[in-house]
Structure 1
Amino acid sequence: MKQEAFFSFCAAILLAAVLGLSGCGSDSTAQTEIKDTTPQKVVSVTLETLDSVDLAETFTLPATLEAWEDLTLAAEIAGPVRFIGPREGDRVAKGQVILRIDSEARQADLARAKAEFEVQQSHLNRMIRLRDEQIVSPQEYEDARRNFEVARSALRSAEVALSKSELRSPVAGIVDRLLVDRGEFVAEGTPVAEVVQVDRLQAIVEVPEKDVHFLRIDQDVDVMPARILGDAGELMRGKLFYLAFKADPVTRTYRAKVSVNNADGQLRPGMILRVRFLRQEFRQVLAVPLYAVMERGGGTLAFVEDNGVARARPVVTGSIIGDRVIILQGLEVGEKLIVRGQQLLEDGTAVVTGSN
């Protein structure tokens, strides 16, 4: 009787254990059926479709304008100033008379020399006929010939003196200053006028050593007046016609000269300009905004959009031109580069896109 009670007791305990294990299994199954309901992160971004472009890298330097010709004219003979034609600021043509120095006396000297030349020429012609007829001696003929040569030299000297009495402009330009007044006596070599040629000007530029290797003679450049009251001025074209071989010992820069057309007379010597030179050109390259490229984890990367997901792309960069950087490796034409919102992204982040 006791043995049957013992077996009944053991059976009851075993049954309870089985039921307990069944309950535990049921709870585990229920827990595995619980799903994660946390919202997925979505970032709003802006895109730029990649395409190949031509780029030019330039650098701009300040320049000072100078006249193409800046001439100080001096008196070639001594005497009083009898005539002054143009006034200061007037334009003059090449060869135009600016002033005359004692021209009346020079004209009188020329008239006397011309009359003496004609007399000696007539006398020589007579001596030639008489010599041919053997009427005059060879010495008489030689004296006549010598007198004729002296008269001819005197005539030539008088003509030169008269031409020097008229001061003419050697170039077409502007009379910038008159240094004498009418009636004033001037000595030979005295500066009397300043003439500047301004239909063409030269811009003087000091080029740093790092940039001088990119320049070449006859290179076309952009010339821009300095900004005044926010006005950038009209863009003009110039041509590099001189580049120094030796650097300035103080500034360590190389002097360059650029010719500038000034036919309209808008520019003046002494003005400040900006000259833009070409450093190098890039043909059909991928260039992206500089801010679209980031440094992460010791590398350089950019993000592209791929079917609503951001994908990180390691990239190799080249030259920086303005606010864009050339991509040498890592991106392809036609891909959609993320240019805004990329700071919040990781590889695989869902994105909502718009076009830039």
Structure 2
Amino acid sequence: MNFRLVRFFAILSTAWLLSGCGRESTAETVVEQPAKARIVSVAVETLAPLDLAETFTLPATLEAWEDLLLAAEIAGPVRVVERREGDRVLKGEVILRIDPEARKADLDRARAEFDVQRSQFERMTRLRDEQIVSPQEFDDARRNFEVARATLRSAEVALGKSVLISPVDGIIDRLLVDRGEFVSEGTPVAEVVQVDRLQAVVEVPEKDVHFLRVGDQVEVIPARLVGESGATRVGELNYLAFKADPTTRTYRAKVAVDNADGTLRPGMILRVRFLRQSFPRALAVPLYALLERGGQTLAFVEEQGVARRRVISTGSIIGDRVVVLEGLSAGERLIVRGQHLLEDGSTVAVGNH
């Protein structure tokens, strides 16, 4: 064989062998690796039952427990003014006197006449028993005695009315007359405000009125001004209207508020917090832990590093939490962060909440 031809086939064979070896080596290195499982970092909260209360707060205006406009019961000049505006008075204390001297004089005359007529009547009674006087004379004496007794009683009442007294413990908010001023019967002379307890007037919406009962304890929250503590107080619902206001469609309610320290004043604006519903031993979860998918409310719980989906039923929302009626149990580890990335069965790693 020609030496050159032999050499050609030898080179060709060598090239073929080298080419085959290269393909075999490439096939051995292209090996598919199994996909690595995705792990989602989450935070959890262990569920525990709580005693919860759903409340609602309404604005209110303070009013005096009693705001009394006192009027003169008799006509005459104001002789003595014993209290000033702003003074505290006790029930029964004198505020002013209207012509007491004249009324005392009328009473003295009436008492003297009464004594005379009483003696005359007693004398005529003895004479009648002895049949010395006629029945007509006896009847006249009795009638005169009864008139004198009525006149005495009227004079006593008039003297009492000449002294204006406070019917309650309170503060004289206004004096409407001055000493020496003549007043007619029925003229307003003083305004007395009872402030040791007040009442907060509230307009309750229709949707909330059926939650309230007279006697309920409520929380009264004064307005907080600069430098004031605004400490809350306990009040008692003591009135709830049966009929709604035709304009506002709200129901007027009144809450008794203790004001022994005198820091509250009629006319102030404050808030009253009422209890709508209580939920003893309720299971409530953060609103942000829930998902809405396909018209269902979902939550995820962590079980040994795996996320489990739960379809839940919810109730009232209280603050930033919602009461869970069905779907979750106490002791479960609710996923509260990272739940948007999960599906049922996802692998999770629990981090710090």
Q: TM-score, structure 2 length as denominator?
A: 0.88
Match in the other structure for 1:142: 139
Is the aligned partner of 1:121 residue 2:125?
no
Match in the other structure for 1:92: 89
Is the aligned partner of 1:180 residue 2:177?
yes
Is the aligned partner of 1:326 residue 2:317?
no
- 1:118–1:55 Cα change, 3 Å: same
Match in the other structure for 1:341: 338
Question: C-alpha separation between the residues in 2 aligned to 1:146 and 1:37?
Answer: 124
Question: C-alpha separation between the residues in 2 aligned to 1:235 and 1:264?
Answer: 13
Match in the other structure for 2:12: none
Out of 195, 198, 209, the residue aligned to residue 201 of structure 1 is 198
Q: Bigger shift: 228-237 or 262-271?
A: 228-237
C-alpha displacement of 1:342: 2.5
Is the contact made by 1:224 and 1:232 (CA closer than 8 Å) also made in structure 2? Answer: no
Match in the other structure for 1:227: 224
Is the aligned partner of 1:286 residue 2:287?
no
Sequence identity (%)? 71
The aligned length equals 335
Match in the other structure for 1:165: 162
Q: Match for 1:279: what amino acid?
A: R
Is the contact made by 1:48 and 1:355 (CA closer than 8 Å) also made in structure 2? Answer: no
C-alpha displacement of 1:355: 5.3
Question: C-alpha separation between the residues in 2 aligned to 1:261 and 1:80?
Answer: 39
Match in the other structure for 1:273: 270
Cα distance per residue 1:207-258 (max 9 Å; x no partner): 1111111112212111111233496721211111211122112111111111
Backbone CA RMSD of aligned residues: 2.3
Is the aligned partner of 1:262 residue 2:259?
yes
Secondary structure in 1 aligned to 2:106?
Answer: helix
- 1:275–1:154 Cα change, 3 Å: same
Secondary structure in 1 aligned to 2:283?
Answer: strand
Match in the other structure for 1:253: 250
Q: Match for 2:33: what amino acid?
A: K
Unmatched tracts of structure 1, length 5 or more: 1-15
C-alpha displacement of 1:28: 5.9
Secondary structure in 1 aligned to 2:185?
Answer: coil
Q: Match for 2:82: what amino acid?
A: G
- 1:232–1:318 Cα change, 3 Å: farther
- 1:339–1:230 Cα change, 3 Å: farther
C-alpha displacement of 1:30: 5.6
Q: Bigger shift: 319-328 or 230-239?
A: 230-239
Question: C-alpha separation between the residues in 2 aligned to 1:303 and 1:84?
Answer: 78
C-alpha displacement of 1:346: 3.6
Secondary structure in 1 aligned to 2:77?
Answer: strand
C-alpha displacement of 1:117: 0.6
Q: TM-score, structure 1 length as denominator?
A: 0.87
Question: C-alpha separation between the residues in 1 aligned to 2:126 and 2:323?
Answer: 94
Question: C-alpha separation between the residues in 2 aligned to 1:57 and 1:292?
Answer: 20
Question: C-alpha separation between the residues in 1 aligned to 2:195 and 2:136?
Answer: 61
Q: Match for 1:285: what amino acid?
A: A
Q: Bigger shift: 125-134 or 176-185?
A: 125-134
Secondary structure in 2 aligned to 1:127?
Answer: helix
Secondary structure in 2 aligned to 1:264?
Answer: coil
C-alpha displacement of 1:353: 2.1
C-alpha displacement of 1:187: 0.7
Unmatched tracts of structure 2, length 5 or more: 1-15
C-alpha displacement of 1:84: 1.1
Out of 206, 212, 217, the residue aligned to residue 215 of structure 1 is 212
- 1:287–1:245 Cα change, 3 Å: same
Secondary structure in 2 aligned to 1:120?
Answer: helix
Match in the other structure for 2:57: 60
Secondary structure in 2 aligned to 1:233?
Answer: coil
Secondary structure in 2 aligned to 1:115?
Answer: helix
C-alpha displacement of 1:153: 0.8
Out of 136, 152, 155, the residue aligned to residue 155 of structure 1 is 152
Question: C-alpha separation between the residues in 2 aligned to 1:268 and 1:62?
Answer: 16
Question: C-alpha separation between the residues in 2 aligned to 1:260 and 1:163?
Answer: 34
Question: C-alpha separation between the residues in 2 aligned to 1:246 and 1:69?
Answer: 23
- 1:244–1:51 Cα change, 3 Å: same
Q: Match for 2:81: what amino acid?
A: I
